[in-house]
Amino acid sequence: MRYLVLTDLHANRHALEAVLEAAPPASYDRVLVLGDLVGYGADPNGVIERVRALDPVAVIRGNHDKVACGLDSAEDFNTVARIAALWTMHALTPDNREYLQALPAGPQRITDELEICHGAPFDEDAYVFDAADAMDALDAAGRPLCLFGHTHLPVVFARSGRGLAVTVPDGDDTVVGLEPGTRYLMNPGSVGQPRDGDSRAAFALLDDGARQLTMRRVVYPVERAQEAILAAGLPASLASRLAAGR
């Protein structure tokens, strides 16, 4: 099975459309979405509707999804994130709000070899940033390959025995072979709000038959996403950060 892996779309329809153009339907069989469809960006309804049209095999919720649909409080968000979440809450159509409310928490089993989560296998809202976080997450994972999001930083942690290898993509397509007996924790990076200093939208393609993961980046019209944010009356910092990839 070949999967298109998307996470942290954050209501950025322009970035999502660029990803889907770069990864046409012939390049994958099914879609996996690892949470945070909304928050920060100006087109939550457009992104949700585009995702729903893809008929993903699995979509799990992220922390911004929970707050925007009323399942959780925004009290732990910073000021800008809180403003965006409350704006999103009012912008959502009733149908799309119900869709977010019905999304399951991670981790979710996809196959005997694969599971997905938003933050970490032990806590859907936990961040996995460094080797210590990764070791805890790998200990908690129920499958050899766990895909996660939340940090907006593309990375692959691979543990064989007691050793941990870390692969950070260099900006171009990065191909990782999946070795038998090795456990993996992989974040494709954010579609809608990258934070690794690269403004291009990030996504991944997983071919479990070939045991290969390809992490990719694609240019999208950042200025149009920025214009949409400003036109919606959202904080200007949400527009400026898109160009910096931060």
pLDDT digit string, tens, across residues 130-180: 999 999 999 999 999 999 999 999 999 999 987 899 999 987 899 999 999
Structural domain count, the chain: 1
Two tokens, residue 9: 């779309």
Q: Which domain holds residue 219?
A: 2-244
Spatial neighbors of 210 by CB under 8 A, at least 6 apart, are none
CA atoms within 13 A on the CB side of 158: 14
Q: What pTM was estimated for this model as a whole?
A: 0.96
**Is the peptide bond prior to 107 cis by the omega test (within 30 degrees of 0)?**
yes
CATH code of the domain in which 227 resides: 3.60.21.10
| SS3 of residue 26 by DSSP | helix
Please give the Cα distance from 148 to 155 (Å, whole number).
10
Radius of gyration of the chain (CA): 17
The answer to whether the CB of 109 falls within 8 A of the CB of 115 is: yes
pLDDT digit string, tens, across residues 174-219: 999 999 999 999 999 999 999 999 999 999 999 998 999 999 999 9
